[in-house]
């Protein structure tokens, strides 16, 4: 299985994502610069955290028009796995691949700490190794992670089971609507989340609860791949 980690000017979690893929599942992984115009070689695309283009105008607003983003959209449409983490989540919402927007944290502070998350949907390609309702510990590190969508969109997210992670009860750090920490596209192959699973892949880092996101992706890919081979 081949992973791409997209690198924008200002990305700063690209190395963490790259190492997490290597450490957790040992699959092939490349850094792909924001000017790239072909992602056809990759099965999964990781859009990492950071401050792409200095967060100028709005987080993710300028990155969303980088040449590589047309390819990310194409990959998402083709059903490939796309995971946006933190600034990556902001970029995916700006690009319209995921609904809603990320606003300034309720208390205006940049928050950087472990955060208990409830796995709401354990049926996505990114969460199949978790149990529904399980509470896991994953760090957050953001100033603009306050997820917003209108009531109609929220109802749609709930109806289609597109809420993947919520801040566990009483722990909403940033004012997100419905305690939302991560969502997926209608098809489930695009996930965006503010917490950083790539920073939770070893007890040395404080938690290894993020590991299973990577084993989930590999598992989903293998199932899809084997099904294709056997059919």
Partner 1 sequence: MKATVYVTIKQNVLDPQGTAVQGALHSMGFAEVDKVRIGKYLELTLDTTDRAEAEERVRAMCEKLLANTVVEDYRFELEG
* Selected binder of partner 1 within 74, 106, 131, 222 (CB under 8 A): 106
Site for partner 1 contains 38 (CB under 8 A): no
52 part of the interface to partner 1, by CB under 8 A: no
Q: What is the CA radius of gyration of the chain?
A: 16
Stretch that binds partner 1, among 3-11, 100-108, 197-205, 216-224 (CB under 8 A): 100-108
By annotation, the residues acting in catalysis are: 86, 196, 198
Please report how close the Cβ of residue 90 comes to partner 1 at its closest, in angstroms. 10
Q: Residue 203, Cβ neighbours under 10 Å: how many?
A: 8
Sole residue written with tokens 């998350």: 117
The nearer residue to partner 1, 15 or 103, going by C-beta atoms, is 103
Query: Binding segment for partner 1 among 60-68, 122-130, 183-191, 221-229 (CB under 8 A)?
Result: 60-68
Rounded to a whole number of angstroms, the minimum distance from the CB of residue 143 to partner 1 is 11
Please say whether the beta carbons of 80 and 73 come within 8 A: no
- With CB under 8 A as the contact rule, the residue among 175, 178, 202, 206 that binds partner 1 is 175
Pick between residue 39 and residue 62 the one whose CB is nearest to partner 1.
62
Q: Is there binding between residue 103 and partner 1 (CB under 8 A)?
A: yes
- Assess 146 for contact with partner 1 (CB under 8 A): yes
Residue of 184, 210, 162 whose CA lies nearest to 79: 184
Stretch that binds partner 1, among 10-18, 101-109, 158-166, 193-201 (CB under 8 A): 101-109
List the one residue from 24, 52, 87, 93 that touches partner 1 (CB under 8 A): 93
Structure-token pair, residue 102: 């990320």
Part of the chain binding partner 1 (CB under 8 A), chosen from 9-17, 80-88, 122-130, 144-152: 144-152
Size of the site for partner 1 (CB under 8 A): 21
Contacts with partner 1 by CB under 8 A lie at 57-58, 61-62, 65, 93-94, 99-101, 103-108, 146, 148-150, 175
């Amino acid at each position: 299985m081949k992973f791409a980690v997209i690198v924008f000017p200002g990305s700063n979690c690209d190395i963490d994502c790259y190492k997490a893929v290597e450490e957790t599942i040992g699959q092939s992984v490349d850094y792909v610069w924001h000017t790239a115009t072909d992602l056809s070689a990759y099965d999964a695309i990781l859009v990492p955290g950071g401050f792409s283009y200095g967060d100028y105008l709005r987080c993710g607003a300028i990155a969303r028009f980088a040449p590589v983003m047309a390819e990310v959209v194409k990959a998402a449409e083709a059903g490939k796995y796309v995971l946006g983490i933190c600034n990556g989540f902001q970029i995916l919402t700006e690009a319209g691949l995921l609904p809603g927007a990320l606003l300034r944290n309720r208390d205006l502070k940049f928050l950087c700490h472990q955060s208990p998350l409830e796995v709401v949907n354990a049926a996505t390609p990114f969460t199949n190794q978790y149990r529904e309702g399980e509470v896991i510990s994953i760090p957050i590190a953001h100033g603009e992670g306050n997820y917003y969508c209108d009531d109609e969109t929220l109802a749609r997210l709930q109806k289609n089971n597109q809420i993947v992670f919520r801040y566990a009860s009483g722990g909403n750090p940033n004012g997100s609507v419905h305690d939302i920490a991560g969502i997926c596209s209608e098809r489930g192959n695009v996930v965006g989340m503010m917490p950083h699973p790539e920073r939770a892949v070893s007890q040395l880092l404080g938690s290894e609860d993020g590991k299973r996101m990577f084993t989930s992706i590999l598992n989903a890919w293998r199932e899809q791949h084997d099904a294709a081979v056997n059919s």
